[in-house]
Each structure stands twice: as C-alpha cells, then as structure tokens.
Amino acid sequence: MGDSPRSRRERPAKPALSRQGIIDATNEIMRSEGLEKATMRRVAQALDTGPASLYVYVSNTTELHAAVLDELIGSFHSDGDGDWVARLDALLAGYSEVLFTYPGLARSALVLRPTGPNSIALFDRVLGLLLEGGIAPDRAAWGVDLLLQFVTATAAEHSAPAPSDAVARGQQGDPERFETAVRDAATTGTPHLRAHMDAVLGGTPAQRFMWATRALVAGITATPIPAEPANR
C-alpha cells in the first residue's frame, strides 16, 4: 500500500506573510525568470497564497517593483574616490547600472517614484555631494530631483525592450534605428544634421552619460530658483 496523504496538521506551517517576504520572493522571481514574470499572481503562487493577500502589503505590481528597486538601490555603494564631482559620477553611474540591468524597474520608477528608505538615502547622498560642491542648498535640493529623474528616464528609454514590448522593439531605446533615421534624414533637407553628423552620433554611451550629468550639475549651479510669480 502506498503512503497515505499527509493531513494539513502534519504539514509544516507556512511562514507568516510580510512585506519583506513579498519583496524577497519578487526579487527571486525577477532574477530567475525576469521582471515581466514578477506579477502579483506569480509572487502569490511562490508564497503559496492568493493574490488578494498581497494587497494588504502592496497596492499593485508597480508598487511592488518600486519596492524591489529600493532593495537593489541599497545593495550598491558607488561613491568612489576623488573630489565631489568624481564621487557624484560614480554614484549616479551605480544607480544607472541597476536600472539598465533591470530596465522594467526604470519604467516602474517613472510611474511611481520610489520612496523606500534606500531611495531616500540615495537622495540624501546626492544632495550631500552637491552641497559639498558649494551649490546653494535650494538649488541643490531641486537639483537632486533633476539628476535622478534624468538617470531613471535615460535607463527607461535606452534599455533593451522587455520580451512583451513587441511594439516598442526597434523603436524607443534602439540606437541603431536612431542612427539609420538620422543618416537617412541627412540626405533630404536637414542641412544641420548633414554638417554635424559626426557630433550628433559621436561619443560612447558612458561619455554621453557623464557629459549630460555634468551639464546638469553646471546648470544647477548657475541657475537660481525663480521667484514666485506675483498674483494677478
């Protein structure tokens, strides 16, 4: 005779459901199956519970992905060495690497701004470096938003499309398609593109990223906060 089925009382008790447990399960699915598979239903399945149970801890899949991104932000420490500019370059590059590794997280971050403890700590680290550079506190405070939004948007735009993004594939985020379009346009009524083709398409992604962040910092440094418009 075969073994009789084990009763529910004999089975080991499931771990208590928690927000951290949900994030950990999502992270595991994301690493092994990809972010697209890390849905509320799939996470609930991994935790042997129903999707409705997860909504006590997270509102939706976007918020869940934002929580995972916050965990990943806490895993890198890329302040680097050198002056404040070099350390800011390293910090923003480290954040960028996380987003380019998991491009779907960048898209989620654009929809729902991460507000977890590690995301706030990243904000604080960038703010501290801008203040160290002598930037006025009001400009530095607004400048952090600008820098982090730039990094997030750049990763969301230029990362490889997710497998389900059939429409986006070959469009946004495709450097080769952009280069082809520019070269084709340069032959028909776009004299500025034709004259400056090498500059338009030149530079490595790393060079262009560093230039952009430093250009933003220069603008943050030089641009005062505008006065509130007078009531009309």
Model confidence pLDDT, tens digit, residues 199-216: 988 998 889 999 999 999
Q: Determine which of 83-92, 141-150, 180-189, 205-214 has the lowest per-residue pLDDT on average.
A: 180-189
Exposure string (b/e) for 43-62, b if CB count within 10 Å is 16 or more?
bbebbeeeeeebeebbeebe
Quick one: pLDDT band at residue 2, thresholds 50, 70, 90? low
pLDDT recorded at residue 104: 79
pLDDT recorded at residue 123: 95
Whose CA is closest to 29, among 19, 16, 39?
39
pLDDT recorded at residue 170: 43
For the chain, the average pLDDT equals 84
Quick one: pLDDT band at residue 169, thresholds 50, 70, 90? very low
Average of per-residue pLDDT across 138-146: 96
Q: Determine which of 17-26, 176-185, 203-212 has the lowest per-residue pLDDT on average.
A: 176-185
pLDDT recorded at residue 159: 60
For 75-121, the pLDDT digits (tens) are 887 667 899 999 999 999 999 998 888 877 888 888 777 788 999 99
pLDDT recorded at residue 173: 47
Cβ neighbors of 210 (< 8 A, separation 6 or more) are 89, 93
pLDDT recorded at residue 83: 93
Q: At 59, phi and psi to the nearest 5?
A: -75, -35
Average of per-residue pLDDT across 127-131: 97
Cβ neighbors of 23 (< 8 A, separation 6 or more) are 64, 67, 68, 71
- With a pLDDT cut of 90, the percent of the chain lying above it is 43
Average of per-residue pLDDT across 5-32: 77
Class of 78-221 in CATH:
mainly alpha
Quick one: pLDDT band at residue 160, thresholds 50, 70, 90? low
Higher pLDDT, residue 118 or 166: 118
Whether 21 and 47 have beta carbons less than 8 Å apart is answered as: yes
pLDDT recorded at residue 49: 93
- With a pLDDT cut of 70, the percent of the chain lying above it is 84
Token pair 């034709």: residue: 194
